[in-house]
Structure 1
Amino acid sequence: MSLRRFLGSLSAAALMTIVPPALADGEVNLYTSRHYDSDQVLFAAFTEATGITVNVIEDKAGKLIERIKTEGVNSPADVFLTVDASNLMNAASDGLFQATSSDSLDSRIPANLRHPDGLWFAFTKRARVIMVREDAGVTGLERYEDLADPRFDDMICIRSSGNIYNQSLVGSLIAANGEEATAAWVQGLVANMAREPESNDTGQIRAVAAGECSIGVANTYYLARLTRSDDPADRAVAAAIDVILPNQDDRGTHVNISGAGVLSHAPNAANAVAFLEFLASDEAQLAFADGNNEWPAVEGVAHGSVLDDLYGEFAQDDISVATFGANRSSALNIMEANGWK
């Protein structure tokens, strides 16, 4: 979405609600691990609409967390924006966020998609789903738990145990089934792997399409990217994939987030809160989510048609996403102890 188009979608009333005139100056310093051009358009729109300059530092989440810790009370950072609730919980456990009091954020962001003490808030959602090659004849695969069934021996491609998306998925399984059952599940999953874990989520999808394995696990936006690609080869990969939305008859499919919070030593805390409230506006939610083929965190906001085409409506696990970070250490221990490389 272009800056002009985005600004044209913002009504004057919406802007007054997002940022009171008294705050319409100064700057906000953003540390972000998201690296999408669409995010830059959104930040520019915030500046154009409010007069608040957004200064952006990009890096991987872990590096940004360490940078904020090293900078300490002298950190210029106001907002930390990142993917995956576990990254946000890591930052929260290190004391990097301050509680944000905002009626707007509390009313617009569902309780299970924000920190219980207001330390961070989700702004987009993504699901981690099962993807199978359409001609593989895979049947009886309806739940994450089924991935450990011996019937799927030598059929599964998945990323490493070091991948935070997988750690959060395992954290959700601990919450649902307990540590002992989850350890047994990891053992079964490892036994069913067609190869040692490698590559990223796109790599898992390509491997399934190419016949290296029949079953893969990936976040929803990766398949959407391939579907929307200008490259016919990418679209052919996407066309070879069938999607399974797990656990539709019980707790629902595992959903994770991108989110942000105001940092403890933010020098521009009021502008930081205004920035988060802007991200929760209907117009920003649409642009923010569509830029990476995700769902808005705010309920009732429209989303990209490619998501409807690929996934439709589905039951989502409504567990607090903060649980993933709380369970991350146990999840990683279980994964490593049971052979998930």
Structure 2
Amino acid sequence: MIDKTRLSLIALASCLLATPVLAQSVNLYTTREPALLNPALEAFTKDTGIKVNAVFLKDGLQERIKAEGANSPADVMLVVDVGEINAAVDAGITQPVKSALVDKTVPAQLRGAQDNWVTLTKRGRVVVVSKERVKQDAITYEDLADPKWKGKFCIRAGQHPYNNAFFAAYLTHHGAEKTEAYLKALKANTARKPGGGDRDVARDILSGQCDIALINTYYIGLMSTATNEQKGWFEAIKPLKTTFANGGTHVNVSAAAIAKHAPNKDNAVKLIEYMLSEKAQVLYGDGNFEFPVNADVKESAIVKLIGTVTPDKVALTDIAKNRKAAADLVDKAGFDN
């Protein structure tokens, strides 16, 4: 006859067998579009067994994490723009990403101070010109101020975040006095009031309103695959090898940080490391024609389209610090008037 103790043990074992093992997980807060991230996130789960609980937010990411406080479930933040990720650090909601793989893969100028954030992909801000009317293949950002471009230059608003970051980079290179003079020279060269979007400058090159413009590289990629009039805009332009006179190409980034109170910190590190792998860099970067940060990735979609860029050596943290001063100079120069 089976005694009560043995019956209890059998019942306990049955309960344990019937209870599924809880899967490991990591909680991601991001402002990126689901379609861009999901392929890489799904591959991460398949390869590691770690489920990604993604919260997609249009805005208010920092405010939400701050409001959640020490009880926030956020493990990883993934945003676009160095200003946004640096603001998260300033808000005190991040912690250092400690990883030998990250240190090896991501150059120091593409990481935050004390490694509080990490670049995942890059987008260059480069000069495009009319294929028909401009024959040169390379240019410096400084050359855009040359009077030979008077009435031929198009650009979106100077206070737009893309241009604000670029002007902050120029300020980091050249100082306030030269940056103000540069802004006034660019303004004098414009064919129209600064405004519209990056793709609009390609449209205006096709129409003949301007010959030269500044654009983010991923827009070139997106127009190249368009099935509407934007395909014609793409075919009218030619990207130039664009650098600072004493540096490389200005880039902005998509970047990740580990939340200060991350409940799954180890898995947060694993997710960031995975996003830097060759497989994930292609899955993630190609979705929006962004440059990989992993130098071992040679065949990304944007590289096939326009070639490689050499990022400027100026630290992105220095650019972030100069954004307010750059915005003030844009106003002082009357750039958007």
Q: Which TM bucket (shorter chain)?
A: 0.7 to 0.9
Name the SS of the counterpart of 1:202 in structure 2. Answer: helix
Q: How many residues align?
A: 315
User: Letter of the aligned partner of 2:115 in structure 1?
Assistant: G
Give 1:166 shift.
Answer: 1.0
User: Letter of the aligned partner of 2:238 in structure 1?
Assistant: D
Distance 1:181 1:140, change over 3 A: farther
Give 1:70 shift.
Answer: 2.9
- Given the alignment, which residue of 28, 53, 56 partners 1:55? 53
- CA-based RMSD of the aligned residues comes to 2.2
* Residue matched to 2:101: 104
Residues 1-341 of structure 1: matches in 2 within 5 Å?
25-35=23-33, 37-60=35-58, 63-137=60-134, 142-229=139-226, 231=227, 233-247=229-243, 250-310=246-306, 312-341=307-336
- TM-score, normalising length: structure 2: 0.86
User: Letter of the aligned partner of 1:57 in structure 2?
Assistant: V
**Hey, what's the Cα distance between the residues in 1 that align with 2:243 and 2:48?**
43
| Percent identity of equivalent pairs | 35
Runs (5+) with no aligned partner, structure 1: 1-23
User: Letter of the aligned partner of 1:222 in structure 2?
Assistant: Y
What do the CA deviations read for 1:35-86 (whole angstroms, capped 9, x no partner)?
151411111121222222212222345x222322333333222211111222
**Hey, what's the Cα distance between the residues in 2 that align with 1:141 and 1:105?**
32
- TM-score, normalising length: structure 1: 0.85
Distance 1:190 1:75, change over 3 A: farther
User: Letter of the aligned partner of 2:32 in structure 1?
Assistant: R
**Hey, what's the Cα distance between the residues in 1 that align with 2:137 and 2:49?**
55
Runs (5+) with no aligned partner, structure 2: 1-21
**Hey, what's the Cα distance between the residues in 2 that align with 1:113 and 1:325?**
12
* Residue matched to 1:7: none
What do the CA deviations read for 1:180-211 (whole angstroms, capped 9, x no partner)?
10111111112222222322222222222222
Greater radius of gyration (CA): 2
Verify the 8 A CA contact 2:127 2:242 in the aligned structure 1: yes
Verify the 8 A CA contact 2:248 2:312 in the aligned structure 1: yes
Distance 1:274 1:303, change over 3 A: same
Give 1:140 shift.
Answer: 10
Distance 1:235 1:73, change over 3 A: same
Name the SS of the counterpart of 2:242 in structure 1. Answer: coil
Name the SS of the counterpart of 1:87 in structure 2. Answer: helix
**Hey, what's the Cα distance between the residues in 2 that align with 1:156 and 1:121?**
34
Name the SS of the counterpart of 1:278 in structure 2. Answer: helix
Name the SS of the counterpart of 1:199 in structure 2. Answer: coil
Name the SS of the counterpart of 1:339 in structure 2. Answer: coil
